[in-house]
């Protein structure tokens, strides 16, 4: 069982505190993605698990063993680096076999069998005699992954392994990693800043900010039920629209959110007080373009504004709609024109609400 438990992990470099008490349980054979903005501590946390750094305090447990003070070689982990870290003077075969020799493998036929087995999995059989300089970026990354796989570790650690590849290769390698995940059935931790990688590969996503965990959940949980405004804004491209307003009584004696534009939006049953400032969040794809007048249906919200800018992406467009002093981004398959007046509508059920502290508003 290659489960991982992190208990109150803290890390400081001199007077700078980088991680502020990380508690996390990663299940056996789970693919977990650490994601967050640059400097949030995700790579530092990965290096602590690998044993390349030591925590200031806390415990790291792998496979029911406290490995906090063990060297990297004794932890049963293999790390795939962003820079590939291949030996340039060795062939692909020699790069992949090197780890086995360091583990004490002496019988050449056993080493050859293991390398050939992994080469078949990664489609590297025809490249085994080449040097790294003769390989493309995607091939080098597969070799780096193969070098980790041959050791049959308890845990695989990936540190932004696709960041040096172009867009088409990244897409191809995402598919290969997804297939590899299904074949190996191993515990994997993957660090990235790329939301597409996180959403498509992860069993669970760990969203980090400023050395702390903001939310842990499946990709759909994190996307559809963000714990706070940071997660809601970080996950999603283009990012979620945010409109701040004040909680008021409506003319129908209901509770509404009064926006600076003058629009009053009906609010669901939330644990909020009159006069409280809260923020409405709407994802760009939750807004539908309508040529009709704003609907009066109580479960629908409409906005009308002028188009300032359009990002054409082929099959769809991102429309920047100016509403008084605020801007909404609308994701649509239609192709309107700059300067046009546009009405967009969304369902109240698709809206998110965040309190003054930025946390998701809960119901009564």
Per-residue pLDDT reduced to its tens digit, 159-214: 988 887 788 888 888 888 888 888 888 899 999 999 999 999 999 999 999 999 99
Band the pLDDT of 294: cuts 50, 70, 90. very low
> What per-residue confidence (pLDDT) applies to 171?
86
Is residue 172 classed as helix, strand or coil in its secondary structure? helix
Whose structure tokens read 């300032």? 308
Chain-centroid distance of CA 85 in Å reads 24
Higher pLDDT: 231 or 148? It is 231
Cβ-contact 170, 133 below 8 angstroms: no
Cβ-contact 193, 38 below 8 angstroms: yes
Is 296 a residue whose pLDDT tops 70?
A: no
CB atoms within 10 A of CB 109: 7
Higher pLDDT: 59 or 83? It is 59
Whose structure tokens read 């803290």? 10
Q: 3-state SS of 285-317?
A: HHCEEECCCCCCCCCEEEEEEEEEEEEECCCCE
CA distance 188 to 31: 5
> What per-residue confidence (pLDDT) applies to 170?
84
- Residues paired with residue 121 on neighbouring β-strands, in sequence order: none
Mean pLDDT (whole number) for 135-147: 87
Is residue 28 classed as helix, strand or coil in its secondary structure? coil
Is residue 181 classed as helix, strand or coil in its secondary structure? helix
Is 251 a residue whose pLDDT tops 90?
A: no
CA distance 281 to 217: 20
Is 328 a residue whose pLDDT tops 90?
A: yes
Cβ-contact 81, 159 below 8 angstroms: yes
> What per-residue confidence (pLDDT) applies to 291?
56
Instruction: Name the nearest CA neighbour of 200 among 216, 177, 180, 183.
Output: 177
- Residues paired with residue 152 on neighbouring β-strands, in sequence order: none
Band the pLDDT of 271: cuts 50, 70, 90. confident
CA distance 55 to 6: 11
Structure tokens at 89: 């003077």
The residues, ordered by sequence, that sit 6+ positions from 61 with a Cβ below 8 Å of its Cβ are 4, 5, 6, 7, 67, 68
Most confident of 19-33, 78-92, 157-171: 19-33
Chain-centroid distance of CA 57 in Å reads 26
Is 346 a residue whose pLDDT tops 70?
A: yes
> What per-residue confidence (pLDDT) applies to 200?
93
CA distance 276 to 359: 13
Instruction: Name the nearest CA neighbour of 265 among 285, 250, 283, 282.
Output: 250
| pTM attached to this predicted model | 0.89
Band the pLDDT of 148: cuts 50, 70, 90. confident
Distances (CA, A) of 201 to 33, 190, 205, 297: 8, 9, 9, 39
């Amino acid at each position: 069982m290659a489960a991982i438990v992190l208990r109150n992990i803290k890390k400081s470099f001199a007077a700078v505190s980088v991680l502020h008490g990380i508690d996390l349980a990663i299940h056996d054979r789970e693919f977990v993605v650490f994601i967050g903005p640059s400097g949030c501590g995700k790579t530092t946390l990965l290096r602590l698990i690998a044993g390349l750094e030591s925590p200031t305090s806390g415990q790291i447990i792998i496979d029911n063993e406290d490995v906090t003070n063990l060297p990297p070689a004794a932890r049963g982990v293999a790390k795939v680096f962003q820079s590939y870290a291949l030996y340039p003077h060795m062939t692909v075969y020699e790069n992949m076999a090197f780890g086995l020799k360091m583990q004490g493998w002496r019988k050449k036929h056993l080493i050859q069998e293991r390398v050939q087995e992994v080469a078949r999995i990664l489609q590297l059989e025809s490249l085994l005699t080449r040097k790294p300089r003769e390989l493309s970026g995607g091939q080098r990354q597969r070799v780096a992954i193969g070098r980790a796989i041959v050791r049959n570790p308890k845990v695989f650690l990936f540190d932004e392994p696709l960041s040096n590849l172009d867009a088409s290769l990244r897409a191809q390698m995402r598919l290969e990693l997804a297939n590899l995940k299904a074949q190996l059935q191993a515990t994997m931790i993957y660090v990235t800043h790329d939301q597409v990688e996180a959403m498509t590969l992860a069993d669970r996503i760990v969203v980090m900010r400023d050395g702390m965990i903001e939310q842990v959940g499946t990709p759909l949980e994190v996307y559809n039920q963000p714990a706070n405004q940071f997660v809601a804004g970080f996950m999603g491209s283009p990012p979620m629209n945010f409109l701040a307003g004040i909680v008021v009584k409506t003319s129908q004696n209901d509770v509404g959110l009064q926006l600076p534009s003058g629009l009053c939006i009906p609010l669901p049953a939330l644990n909020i007080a009159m006069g409280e400032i809260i923020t409405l969040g709407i994802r760009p794809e939750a807004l539908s373009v309508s040529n009709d007048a704003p609907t009066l249906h109580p479960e629908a919200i409409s906005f009308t504004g002028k188009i300032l800018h359009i990002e054409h992406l082929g099959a769809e467009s991102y429309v920047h709609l100016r509403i008084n002093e605020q801007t909404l981004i609308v994701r649509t398959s239609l192709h309107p024109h700059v300067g046009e007046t546009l009405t967009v509508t969304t369902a109240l059920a698709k809206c998110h609400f965040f309190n003054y502290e930025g946390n998701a508003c809960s119901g009564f």
